[in-house]
A and B are shown apart, each in its own frame.
Chain A
Amino acid sequence: MVENATQLPLSENLSLELRRGALVLAVLSQLHQEQYGYSLKKSLADKGLEIDEGTLYPLLRRLESQKLLRSRWQLEDSRPRRYYVISPLGEQVERELAAQWKSLVRVLDSLLAPSKEN
């Protein structure tokens, strides 16, 4: 029991770490069309990727400050919303990250596959 209790947070932390890098690619991939924070969260969730608000919204701002996204405020139903869209630099970075992701998945698949010798 004790072992499980101590291993669970560790496993959660490692899982979060594993996801963190992938989130950037996921977000960039979904912003070829303008979206505001909440609509992006829903769109990612609909496709099976749940991201909590506390992670997604600061990430959008960080990517904008890194010039990978652009944003603008728009008034909708008397409510201001901030819309984000990928920038040309973001598109270039997305292509590079996607290539690295695919290569990483291939390598990891081969590493995780049961050895033929066994």
Chain B
Amino acid sequence: MDLIDRYVHEVGEHLPYRLRADVEAELRSLLMDALEERAGAAARPPDAELAAAVLREFGAPREVAQRYAPEAQYLIGPRLFPAYKRILLILASIFAAFLFASGIVSILGTIQHHGQGAAPLPIFGGPLGVLYSATLNFALITLAFAIAERVMLHHEVKGKDWEPRSLPVLHDPDRISPIGRVKEVYLLLIVAIWFNFYPQWVGFVVIYHGVTFHPVLRPEFAMYLPWLDAFWILDFAYKLWVLRLGRKTRETRWASFGLDLFGVIILCLMISGPVVFRFDAVTKQALTLFLLFRLFTCGLDLYRFLTHKPLAPWSEPQS
């Protein structure tokens, strides 16, 4: 029956792919049973009218599919939604302020240039640039939360498995904030996209006799991108791992230390290799200072890790 096939297909469209074929086969069989029964009761062969009556009884395809779906399908679930909403509101306020400032600058510029149009703020590209940037950021935040939702989906401790003694102690050094981790994933995505796709926007703004933007990266910077991309991918995997575990462990600390060392090596290569920055002297000094700081924090982390007290008060001391 054409109507039944269309109905079954429509239900399938709203189901996860892995369930689709099986549910469709069963639903078709059940509908045919119901249609046969109805036709028998009406003492006439099955037709479109009877099929429509059967389908009406079954309900709208979307509703039927929802009943078959094993779990709620949402991009961001109730656990993370309040944080997601809070961050979006903060970001919306910031962009609204930028939009307002950008609009004011445009209007003032128009007045100053006697209607010849104002030069937009270079870093935001005027109101349209702010809107574009806001949309991109909202999309990235949503992506970061959606990833966190998937990672945390099947890792929820509930019911009888919950153990009060497993509550994190105050000032527990191994405790992580899931929201903080999601923010880190988001920032990581921003940085990776920024350096990979908009390297010309990496720079600084000078406000002196007008607003000017100075890019920092030379085209030669691209030779380090594969290394940086590898670092960001590893960092991304590390952050998701910790998010999934819900706390830091001995293994995650070693992984973090290894990642820091990898970052330090990349920094050393960039400082000692060919010139990849404009304003070479200033940026190299800044990078060297950053390198020294990272070396210091890596050393401190290693010292703490090797000599430290237990990871948590009830854990065995580390050997």
Name A's B-contacting residues (CB within 8 A).
Answer: 36-38, 52-55, 57-58, 61-62, 65, 73, 79-82
Is A82 a contact of B29 with CB atoms below 8 Å? yes
CB-CB under 8 A from B33, the residues of chain A are 36-38, 81
Shortest Cβ distance from residue B229 to the other chain A in the assembled complex, whole angstroms: 40
> B68 touches which one: A38, A58, A79, A82 (CB < 8 A)?
A58
Shortest Cβ distance from residue A78 to the other chain B in the assembled complex, whole angstroms: 11
Is B23 a contact of A37 with CB atoms below 8 Å? no
Q: Are A79 and B59 also in contact (CB < 8 A) when A38-B37, A53-B34, A54-B64 are?
A: no
B9-52 residues with Cβ-Cβ distance < 8 A to A are 23, 25-27, 29-30, 32-34, 37
Is B70 a contact of A37 with CB atoms below 8 Å? no
Name B's A-contacting residues (CB within 8 A).
Answer: 23, 25-27, 29-30, 32-34, 37, 57-59, 63-64, 67-68, 70
CA distance A55 to B37 in the complex (A): 19
B34: nearest chain-A partner, CB-CB:
A38
CB-CB under 8 A from B27, the residues of chain A are 57
6 closest residue pairs by CB, A with B: A38-B33, A58-B67, A54-B59, A58-B68, A37-B30, A82-B26
In the complex, 8 of the A-B residue pairs with CB atoms within 8 angstroms, ordered by the A residue number, are A38-B34, A52-B57, A53-B34, A53-B58, A58-B67, A61-B23, A79-B29, A80-B25
| Sample of 13 more A-B contacts, CB < 8 Å, known A54-B59, A61-B26, A82-B26 | A37-B29, A38-B34, A38-B37, A52-B59, A54-B58, A54-B63, A55-B67, A57-B26, A58-B64, A58-B67, A58-B68, A79-B29, A82-B25
CB-CB under 8 A from B70, the residues of chain A are 62, 65
CB-CB under 8 A from B26, the residues of chain A are 37, 57, 61, 82
A59: nearest chain-B partner, CB-CB:
B67
Interface centre among B57, B67, B68 (most CB of A within 10 A): B67
CA distance A14 to B244 in the complex (A): 38
CB-CB under 8 A from A73, the residues of chain B are 25
Q: Are A80 and B58 also in contact (CB < 8 A) when A61-B23, A65-B70 are?
A: no
Shortest Cβ distance from residue B10 to the other chain A in the assembled complex, whole angstroms: 14
Shortest Cβ distance from residue A60 to the other chain B in the assembled complex, whole angstroms: 9
CA distance A79 to B1 in the complex (A): 14
CB-CB under 8 A from B64, the residues of chain A are 54, 58
Shortest Cβ distance from residue B56 to the other chain A in the assembled complex, whole angstroms: 11
CA distance A55 to B58 in the complex (A): 9
